[in-house]
Structure formats: C-alpha cells, structure tokens
Chains A and B, each alone.
Chain A
Amino acid sequence: MSNPHKKENLGGKKLPRWGMLIDLDRCVGCHTCEIACKIENDVPLGIWRSWVKEIEKGKYPNVVRSFRPTLCNHCENPICVKVCPVNAAWQREDGIVMLDPHLCVGCRYCMSACPYEVRYIHPQKGMIDKCDLCSTRVDAGLEPSCVEACPGSARVFGDLNDSKSEIAKLVATKPVSTLKPEIGTGPRVYYIGLDTATMEIKREAKLVWEK
C-alpha cells in the first residue's frame, strides 16, 4: 500500500512549471501538430494524443473556420490523478501529468473522469495513453514536438514560474482563457482567441449499438 510517486524534498530549489499557450490568431488549422505528435510518440491508428477540432460557422459571405487544438491540459489539480485506483496517473514536480505503464491496469476510470476527454485506451497495450508534453524531449532541453512543428508559431511552450519566459509574459499580459475553468482543475494550457463555438455541447450521440 504505497504511492511510488511521492514528491521528493527539493531543499528549496525552485522547479519549472511547464505550460503551453496556443495563439489561435496564428493557427491556420493545418493539423501539423497532430502528425508531429503521432510520429514522435508512435501513437497507433485511431487514437490521438493531440488533435485539432475544426468547425465551420456562419452563413455565406460571413463564414469562418475555427480551430481548437486539444491536448492534455496538465492541470494543477488533476482529476485523473485523484481517481486512479493504482497511482498509475501521477504528476511530476514540474507539473506534467504522467502515466506509469508499470502500474496502469486499464480500468478506464480516469478516461471517464477527465473533463477534457484527452485520455485514450491504447489498442495494443490495453492501457491508457495520453499526452505527456513529450516529457523525454523536455528533459533533454527541447520543446514538445507539436510546438516545434507548428508552422505558424502558434504554440508557445515554457516555464510559467520563470517571469522572464515568453509564455509567462504572454499569460500575464494577454487576454488568455482555459478550457472549462469552472471545474477547478486549473488547466495549464492557455488559449488566445478561443472560439466558444468549438466547445459546444452536443445533444445527441451515436450509441454503441448503432451501426
């Protein structure tokens, strides 16, 4: 009966708090981040760690396509970590929400508890898969692959605790928003120019027994 991911005593050293900001005024909806993520993390067919929801709205000639790039929000107070019965979902000291494949049993409770629906069941491994902000790249001093691949430089990655970093400046000075702040999870993926039409709740769904 133990949690193998206990926070270490860091002796007062200040750690980074990784976060991401997506400037939708710069997003052109090219889905490059999606593909870069798939290549980097070897994500199988049918599941996505990061994707771009794309909608059309308005009536001709006043029409627009809106995009909502979606990835794990690496919440300050993640529900998935709370509900995981075997401590497989855990949060690093720098804020990245991780999944321990040695512990995950594939019960899918975290999937149904996540308000952002960013967790997926890996068809080959039988366990949960999700965005980890390319933690291996971040540890090596690189940016996540979606950030590096974005042709419009719409994604900004950095340390929210470091007031000199670009992301901290942008979050402090621009009108930013997060997805579903009312749930109290404290998402650390910020958006500039997020269209509420991309977050509409649907009234109907395709049921599992429907062809």
Chain B
Amino acid sequence: MGKVVFDVQYQTTLAFLISYYFYCTGLSAGSFMISTLSYGFGFKKFKPASKMGVVAAVLLLLLAPQFLLMQVGWPIKSVWNHFVYFNPMSAMSYGAFLLMLYPLNSIIYGIFMFKGNMKMTKIFGLIGIPLALAVHGYTGWILALGVARDYWNTGLMPIVFLFSAMVSGISMMILLIIIRDRFFTKEKVINHDLIDSLAKILAWLLVVDLFLVFCDYSVLLYSKLEAQEVAHFMLFGKMSFWFVIVENLIGKVIPMIIVFIPGMRRSYFWLILAALMNMAGILAMRIVTVYGGQALPLM
C-alpha cells in the first residue's frame, strides 16, 4: 500500500557460517546413529560401518564449533562466558555443554570400540544416542525459539533438523564406505549388503523428511500473514530456486526415486549420484532455513 521513503535496513544476523555449523553437526549426528546400530542395538549387518561412523562423527563435531567461533564477535570470550554465565532459559546456553559432552562421549565410545570391549562400547553408544539427538535437536530449538521469525517458530523445527541430519549422515556414510571398500581394503570389494541396507533406510527417511516439509508448508500457507509471506518467498519468491529446485527436487525427491527403484539402487553410479545430490540438498536446506528464514524484513 505505502511506498517506503526511509527505513533502516535490518542487518542479516545468522547466515552461512551458522548454516555450515548446522550441516556439520547434522552429518555428525547422522553418522553416529549409523555407528550405534550394530554395537548399541545389535544389528550385526551394520558392523562394518561402525568404526567409520564414529571417526566421522568425532571429526565433524570437532570441525563444527569452528564455524561458530568464526561467527561470534568475541570467540575466546564466548567460550568462557557460555560456561560461566549460564542462562537456563536459553537453548543456546545448553549447546555449549552439549558441544563438549558429545565429542567426549564419542571419543570414549570410539576408543572402546577400537579396543574391542563390547560391553563398554554398548554402554557409551547408548549414552551417545540421546546426546546425538540433543546436539542436533537443540540447533532446531535455537531457531524455533527465535519467535520473531514465523518460518523458524514451529515445533516441527527440531524434528525436521533431526531427520535431515539422519538423511545427510546416511548419504555421507554410503559415500565413505564405498570409497573405503573400493580403495583402502585388500580385497577391493564393496560390501554390497551393507550399502543396500543403508540405501533402504535412506529411502524411508527421505519419505518422512518430505512429509515433514509438506506439513510445515501447509500450515505456513494457512497461517497468519507473516507466515504466508515467508512461505511465498520460499515457494515463488527469490528463494524458490534454492528451496524448490536445489533442496527438495535435487536434494530429496530425485534421490528418493533413485533409492526406491531396486535396479538403480544396486548400480553404484546412481547410488553415488543420489548420495551426492542428497548431501548438496541438505546443505541447501540449512542455508534456506537459517538465512532464508530471516531474510524478509519484519516491519
């Protein structure tokens, strides 16, 4: 209705570094889940993936907080203050503790696994599951509790984050296992059963992930004006290329079709392509959610 003559531009707060941080914690949580499938829950089929999973989880979770430290204005002060001035109302306050506890637990779990101590591996693996859920779920809560933004402020956000974490983690594990088996083993034979089982899990997780996106957007489009506007911005506006094409079509729908068709799933070319597309799509999802969710000026 009105034409703006003068207004102050809102500074973009959380952009790419935070997206990369969320992406790394997601990959870490996803690969940790795979590694606990055999030692924690007794699915022996996934045993060859366990050691790789825990190593990937630890390395990615050591990398992830570096993006956070680059984002904040005062990196060293931030580490100290997060532990000394704890605010029980803030989701981000708990994150500092989770980001310390989860890699520590994963390292202990990994050491017992490599030493072959089954009992202790199981105990620390089972402790690690809620920690992995928390360390990635809390990133969803951080956004969900930013109540100013309707795109973030939904109870679905932590669950969407958990599912996208598992999806991207499994894709990364499929790629890593293929590379390891093909190039770094004596037999140079890829463990076909393991890859096929992981791909089947990936297929169903992608279905759930797409369903959650559908739930989220159907509610946004019927909700109040700010929510409708942000949904339009994502679906038809400037973000639509990244949201519709990159995140959902390339990142989720096409990989889902590939892994659901048995002939394509068993071909390594298509499976590797699906895993790569899915990992790229989830990275786009992090950027769309973190940056796109706050790109529209509020008033």
Chain A residues in contact with chain B, CB under 8 A?
Answer: 1-4, 31, 47-48, 51-57, 65-66, 68, 70, 79, 82-88, 103-109, 111-117, 120-121, 125-127, 179-180, 183, 195, 197-205, 207-208
Contact = CB atoms under 8 A, between A and B. Distances in A.
A2 B74 contact: no
B119 to A, nearest CB: 34
Interface in B81-105: 81-87, 89-93, 95-96
22 contacts: A1-B83, A4-B85, A51-B6, A56-B3, A57-B1, A84-B90, A85-B96, A86-B82, A106-B78, A107-B92, A113-B147, A115-B147, A115-B298, A127-B74, A199-B299, A201-B229, A201-B296, A201-B297, A203-B232, A204-B237, A205-B296, A207-B239
Interface residues of B, number: 55
A195 B4 CA distance: 13
Contacts of B296: 201-205
Contacts of B86: 1-2, 87
A54 B295 contact: no
A139 to B, nearest CB: 24
A47 B257 CA distance: 49
Contact of A2 (B6, B77, B85): B85
A112 B92 contact: no
Interface stretch (B7-15, B26-34, B35-43): B7-15
Of A53, A56, A180, which is in contact with the most chain B CB atoms at under 10 Å from its CB? A53
Contacts, number: 177
Given A53-B6, A55-B4, A127-B73, A203 B87 contact: no
B297 A105 contact: no
Given A83-B91, A201-B296, A109 B7 contact: no
B188 interface: no
A88 B80 CA distance: 13
Nearest to B68: A107
B71 A107 contact: yes
Given A54-B4, A203-B237, A204-B238, A105 B295 contact: no
A171 B4 CA distance: 29
A6 B148 CA distance: 26
